[in-house]
Amino acid sequence: MTTSSPPPRPVPRPGLRVLAGRPSPALLTLPWAVPLADWQDHVVPLPRGLSRHVVRIVRLDGATYAVKETQEPIAFREYHLLRDLQRLDLPTVVPVGVVSGRVDDAGAPLPAVLVTRHLAFSLPYRHLVAQGMAADSVPALVDAIVVLLVRLHLAGFYWGDVSLSNVLFRRDAGGFAAYLVDAETGELRDSVSDALRAHELSVAAENIYAELLDVAASVPHQEAPDPDVVVTMLGERYDALWTELTGAQTVDTDELWRIEQRIERLNDLGFDVEELDLVTDLDGDHLEIRPRVVEAGHHRRELRGLTGLDVQDAQARRLLNDIAAFTTALDLGREDRHVVASRWLDQVWEPLQALVPPEARGKLEPAEVFHEVLVHRWYLSERAGHEVDLFETARDYVARFLPARPDEAITALGGLPDDDDPPG
């Protein structure tokens, strides 16, 4: 009996250069001598936003990548910028590498490419609209962009090209978290001046206004958000969050409890205060409080420390609330929080996730499934007049509602996220 051998893989051409932090040998086997617009092998039909460049999503050896053709200096600059932003723990796509020195079969040069890791469960704005996202959901997208923009500015990053097309969204406990996709116009500075921040918001308003008009024209059968309302909301919410995170507050020196109150407000917004500047006036009667260093991800870090789960911040807050309810229900208030969290994982989280069949695990991230089950339990309990059991609720949700949701982690291997994507 003879067995057929697998077809040989393409051999990398001489002169090809791959710069990568952790290079995958499989990247060398992609058809780099072919213009990206003509690629067919390995390409998967994941939703993409608009781009001024040719972009393809490819599946290779169990991993999914976004490949973008651009000029070589721009590719290297954006790669290093994204690496810097990753080191600052900012929400961006993960840079994989740059491929340069490409030529076609006739020896003509081809553009360099930037390779990034595809962000699992992420969706571009246009795909959300195509799924039938209601106009009243747009404020949640605006909030996500505002939080992203404020975080970037706090870290000293001036983006220069804020738009809906340059952002990917992941669901976050009924809302959204925004991730930067395109950083080629960005600059990392010591700080972003007030004038640059104002210019950034002006550019964002112009881009988003035009995109909303374009989307409204392309889906006329759906109710479209009012662009004027959206861009006004963007500016107002950015100013409000920036002021809360960085603005000075004057209190009487006999009201020092207001310091803790300010910190708690920032924690509620999802930010930790790493450094406060406290200055008394000449008479010593008043105290000025000004946050100097704030860091996003308060709830996310707390949950990760307790359970090891790495989720979005609003999802983390929802799960922390459920752990608190679990603690109260079982009268575990005197137990160590890590011990209680471990029991919650064993008795609540893992059994509930086990109710999701394998074929449905590409529809929502596990933390978002948990959030949806909690919302569903509220409706069932309201109708029943008493609190419905969590697992009874989960079985009902999984049977009646989850199958109807579209897959949001579509891959070439049947809709499941990569094994090494961040756990949810």
Query: What's residue 50's pLDDT?
Result: 58
**So what's the pLDDT on residue 87?**
93
Other CB atoms closer than 10 Å to residue 280's CB: what's the count?
A: 11
Measured distance CA(121)–CA(217) in Å, rounded: 27
Q: Which residues pair with 31 in a beta bridge?
A: none
Neighbours of 243 (CB within 10 A): 11
Phi/psi for 389 (5° steps) reads: -60, 140
Report yes or no: 312 and 173 within 8 Å, Cβ to Cβ. Answer: yes
Contact 273, 263 (CB under 8 A): yes
pLDDT value for 221: 62
The residues near 157 (Cβ < 8 Å, ≥ 6 apart) are: 85, 88, 90, 186, 187, 188, 189, 192
Q: What is the pTM of this model?
A: 0.83
pLDDT tens digits for range 205-217? 999 999 888 877 7
Per-residue model confidence (pLDDT) at position 415: 35
* Tens digits of residue pLDDT in 47-83: 555 567 888 888 888 788 999 999 999 999 999 999 9
Radius of gyration of the chain (CA): 24
Instruction: Give the mean pLDDT of 211-230.
Output: 79
For 365, list phi and psi in degrees, rounded to 5: -65, 150
Map residue 404 onto helix, strand or coil.
helix
Domains contained in the chain, CATH given:
17-117 (3.30.200), 125-246 (1.10.510.10), 249-296 (no CATH), 299-404 (no CATH)
pLDDT category at 412 given cuts 50, 70, 90 is very low
Q: What is the sign of the dihedral through the CA atoms of 94, 99, 105 and 110? A: positive
Alpha-helix residue ranges (DSSP H) falling in 155-297: 194-218, 227-246, 257-268
Termini Cα distance of the chain? 46
For residue 343, pLDDT beyond 70:
yes
> What pLDDT does residue 414 have?
34
Residue 107: pLDDT over 60: yes
Is pLDDT above 60 for 14?
A: no
